[in-house]
Amino acid sequence: KSGIMNSMAAYITHNWEINNKVIFSRGIRYSNIAMKTEYSDTMMTLMDFSFNKVIEQDNGAMNYNLGLVYKIGSGWRITGMSSSGFRVPNIDDVSKVNDSKGKDHTVIVPNPGLKPEYSYNQEITINKTFNKKVQIEGTVFYTTMKDAITLRETTFNGADSIDFQGYMSKVYTNTNAGNAFLYGGQAGLLAQITDNFSISSNLTYTYGRVKDAGGNTPMEHIPPVYGATHFRLEIKKFTGEFYVRYNRSKALKDYFIAGEDNLESTPSYINADGNTAYYGIPAWYSLNLKTSYQVNKNLSMQF
């Protein structure tokens, strides 16, 4: 197949500094995205598609953002934001044909009628600075999605499973499954302890589910809790940094099994029935050390 996408947009923004403590921002944006993809005659014959070999879409949307910054004083600052967004199905979403040869054979078929998904986001950030050297920050957000694009079971020419490349495969397609929600938070620390030594750290949590007639199912691509902590030392020509990266486990219940979370690539075992079962992603952390020394203006050594 071959395809082409064209996009255009226009936007306007305005910032209003109401006083030395309050700043208000707003903006609107209009976007238009057109897509056209065409299958080869070979593919049309192989899959016996019931639609035309050319798929065309033309979608537009108006989005907004509203923001408010309030500097309370004594190093405190609160930021609030409300915004909307949309994602137009790309060529891959609408027209791909793909298979999986994991535990359960599946095949993804095109959906020419796939529509854009829309999101509406609210978030609040609280920031505190101590003595101009230590800064802590926390953010919480909640996002709702309309017509969320996700993989769901379907039929192809009336059958829920087809013979694809020698395997009897269950049929899925990208579809506007319904509504979805996403929420989470982020916390951060930045501390300049001395002129030579600093510490920074961050931690992020995200949770997402798709709501449809079948109940709540996990959204794809949702990471487990993750973060990093850095300790940095700079003395004349020497720079050293020790840092830890860490990830919580991602349990089987948080995977969308038929989607693109690639459960088959995670650790597995053979259960009592002789079938392959999966653990999901285990928790992990890594310890890292980087150093460098500037011998002279032309030579630097790193370890």
DSSP letter string, the chain: -EEEEEEEEEEEEEEEE-SSSEEEEEEEEEEEEEEEEE--HHHHHHHT-SS-SEEEEEEEEEEEEEEEEEEEETTEEEEEEEEEEEE---HHHHH--EEE-SSS-EEEE--TT---EEEEEEEEEEEEEETTTEEEEEEEEEEEEEEEEEEEE--BTTBSEEEETTEEEEEEEEEEEEEEEEEEEEEEEEEE-SSSEEEEEEEEEEEEEEEETTEEEEPTT---SEEEEEEEEEETTEEEEEEEEEE--B-GGGS-TTTTS-GGGS-EEE-TTS-EEE--BPPEEEEEEEEEEEEETTEEEE-
pLDDT digits (tens, 9 = 90+) for 53-112: 778 888 889 999 999 999 998 899 999 999 999 988 877 777 777 655 544 577 777 888
Q: Are 296 and 270 in contact (CB under 8 A)?
A: no
Least confident stretch, 27-36, 48-57, 82-91, 109-118: 48-57
Q: What are 301's two structure tokens?
A: 């050594």
pLDDT band at 248 (very low <50, low <70, confident <90, very high): very high
Q: Check residues 196 and 176 and name the one with the higher pLDDT.
A: 196
CB hemisphere CA count around 52 (13 angstroms): 7
Q: What is the C-alpha end-to-end distance of the chain, expressed in Å?
A: 48
Q: Are 276 and 252 in contact (CB under 8 A)?
A: no
Alpha-carbon distance of 302 to 95, in angstroms, equals 48
- Return the bridge partners of 79, or none: 69, 125
Q: What is the pLDDT of residue 214?
A: 66
pLDDT band at 42 (very low <50, low <70, confident <90, very high): low
Least confident stretch, 50-54, 75-79, 274-278: 50-54
Q: What are 266's two structure tokens?
A: 């995670």
Q: What is the pLDDT of residue 99?
A: 58
Q: What is the pLDDT of residue 40?
A: 65
pLDDT band at 258 (very low <50, low <70, confident <90, very high): low
User: Cβ-count burial of 72 within 10 angstroms (0-12 exposed, 13-18 middle, 19+ buried)?
Assistant: exposed
pLDDT band at 194 (very low <50, low <70, confident <90, very high): very high
Name residue 17's amino acid.
E
Q: Check residues 259 and 163 and name the one with the higher pLDDT.
A: 163
Q: What is the pLDDT of residue 178?
A: 78
* pTM of the full structure: 0.78
What mean pLDDT comes out for the span 203-207? Answer: 97
Whether the per-residue pLDDT at 210 is higher than 90: the answer is: no
